[in-house]
Structure 1
Amino acid sequence: MPVTIEEIHQKFQQNPFFSHIGFEIVQFDEHKIRIKLDVREYLHNINGTLHGGVYATMLDNIMGMVTRSAAKAKVVTLHLSIQFLASISSGEIFAEATIQEQGYKLAFTEGEIKDENGKVLAKGMGTFKLIRNG
């Protein structure tokens, strides 16, 4: 049975890991999902910049959210590829994603993280398996 956009939104909103990192959903509708993160010191690497794992987590989450919302089904990440383009130490960052191709069982999605001025910090591509019941 397909899930609704509201159920998907609620699941992410209530996810302990999502909120532990500090992600905030700033837009969630049928056509666009956008998440935000305030870059905090506890998310820094030893160089004093945002840890690459946070970029990866943010991209995986936004691409999964977009894919899940479009397919109205659960999804799991099969492959995730990231290009780290710039570092950041403070401020807010935002992530968005788009589906490049979607079939019955797989979806290919691209995502971007930008700073508050629109500078691209990281790009990602993911392959997602769609989990359909029945």
Structure 2
Amino acid sequence: MGDGKMNGEEFNKLIQYFRKVPFWSHIRCQIDEVEEGTAQLHITLENFHLNGNATAHGGVLSTLMDNAMGLAVRSVSGWKTATTQMNVYFLAPAAEGKMWCRGEVIHQTRRTVTARATVTDDRGELIATGTGSFRVFRQPDTSPN
């Protein structure tokens, strides 16, 4: 993984790693696809995802976006990363169905990667959008698989 490019086996290991992260399991985040520089995830809204207004909690949508951007970043960096900053814009409420999130790398340097994400509902309506910056740690990933 040293050159930042991932082969099919490395992509599969990355997907398996994220599927084992406890918080992903808690919010029932599902990985739909990962390609170099992009990732698509979804959740099906359940009662515990909702806020006091019976719509998707902003923290859930932010987490979904952070997950999608982070996975897209890891797919190109091949190294451990950490979110250093996020901007999120909530554009419409969502109360039911699936929330689809696509993360995409838009700029990369040796130490930081910038990504953007969008959340849409089953009808394709834009629910939220945002950007994030991620710090790349240039050391081998020793995360348990």
TM-score bracket for this pair, using the shorter chain length:
over 0.9
Deviation of 1:61 after TM superposition, in Å, equals: 0.6
Deviation of 1:19 after TM superposition, in Å, equals: 1.2
Q: Are 1:124 and 2:130 counterparts?
A: yes
Give the letter for the 1:76 counterpart. Answer: A
Give the letter for the 2:39 counterpart. Answer: I
TM (norm. structure 1) is: 0.93
Equivalent residues, number = 134
| Structure 1 runs not aligned, ≥5 long | none
1:1-134 counterparts in 2 under 5 A? 2=2, 4-30=10-36, 32-133=38-139
Counting aligned pairs with the same residue, the percent is: 28
- Do the aligned partners of 1:30 and 1:70 also contact (CA within 8 Å) in 2? yes
TM (norm. structure 2) is: 0.87
Structure 1 runs (4+) greater than 4 angstroms displaced: none
Deviation of 1:30 after TM superposition, in Å, equals: 3.2
Give the letter for the 1:74 counterpart. Answer: K
Question: Structure 1, residues 89-131: CA drift from partner, whole Å, max 9, x if none?
Answer: 1101100011111011001110000001111100011000001
Of stretches 78-87 and 6-15 in structure 1, the one that deviates more from structure 2 is 6-15
Q: Distance in 2 between matches of 1:82 and 1:10?
A: 27
Of stretches 26-35 and 60-69 in structure 1, the one that deviates more from structure 2 is 26-35
Q: Distance in 2 between matches of 1:95 and 1:35?
A: 5
User: Secondary structure at 1:90's aligned position in 2?
Assistant: coil
Q: Distance in 1 between matches of 2:38 and 2:123?
A: 19
| Structure 2 runs not aligned, ≥5 long | 141-145
Q: Distance in 1 between matches of 2:101 and 2:70?
A: 12
